[in-house]
Amino acid sequence: MDAQGEAPPKFVADGNVGRLARRLRMLGFDALFAHPIADDELVAIAAREGRVLLTRDTYILHRRVVFDGEVRALLITKDDVREQLRQVIRALGLQPPFAVFSRCLECNEPLAPATREEVASEVPPYVLRTQPSFTRCPRCRRVYWAGTHRERMLREVEGLA
């Protein structure tokens, strides 16, 4: 829930904005991405699950369910993923604080805390010694920690709102 008590938007991303879906996941948003996927299925998912459809395909906007407002769609106009993310944040009025690094970047599942013992055989020894906490994706089992990549990713999204 955000400051106004509203649930954050959920997204479904067309194949032409897959990198944007990963950035939205990084900020903690539920962002589905399956490629390849037919436009009909993409629109059906958005309608069925109340997701905002993100696309660079102008033809999708001409579908009756989109044109009539039954499915909310946002035409992404920029090439640069940082600018795409900025467009989504501004168009939907999304405000920090975001739930950064709370979803798996690969499969979109919410992450769960993991103990050192649980991840000891899956992370480099240096990481195990130096990192105080870990999270894990319950679906794909990927392990996450606050390394230098996290700082780089946070710098990439600061100042977007």
Find the mean pLDDT for residues 51-66. 95
Residue 160 in this model has a pLDDT that exceeds 90: no
Which residues sit opposite 24 in a β-bridge? none
Distance (Å, whole) CA 68 – CA 52: 14
* pLDDT for the residue 23: 94
Q: Label residue 35 left, alpha or beta by phi (over 0 means left) and psi (-120 to 50 means alpha).
A: beta
The residue behind tokens 């600061």 is: 158
* pLDDT for the residue 5: 66
What's the predicted TM-score (pTM) here? Answer: 0.90
**How many CA atoms within 13 Å lie on the side-chain side of 2?**
14
Give the 3-state secondary structure of residue 12. Answer: strand
pLDDT tens digits, 82-94: 999 999 999 999 9
Residue 4 in this model has a pLDDT that exceeds 80: no
pLDDT band at 158 (very low <50, low <70, confident <90, very high): confident
17: nearest Cα among 75, 51, 56: 56
Residue 29 in this model has a pLDDT that exceeds 60: yes
pLDDT tens digits, 60-81: 999 999 999 999 999 999 999 9
Which residues sit opposite 112 in a β-bridge? 136
Residue 161 in this model has a pLDDT that exceeds 70: no
Residue 106 in this model has a pLDDT that exceeds 70: yes
Domains of the chain: 11-92 (3.40.50), 112-157 (no CATH)
Give the start-end residues of each E strand in the chain.
11-13, 31-33, 52-55, 73-75, 112-114, 134-136, 143-144
**How many CA atoms within 13 Å lie on the side-chain side of 58?**
1
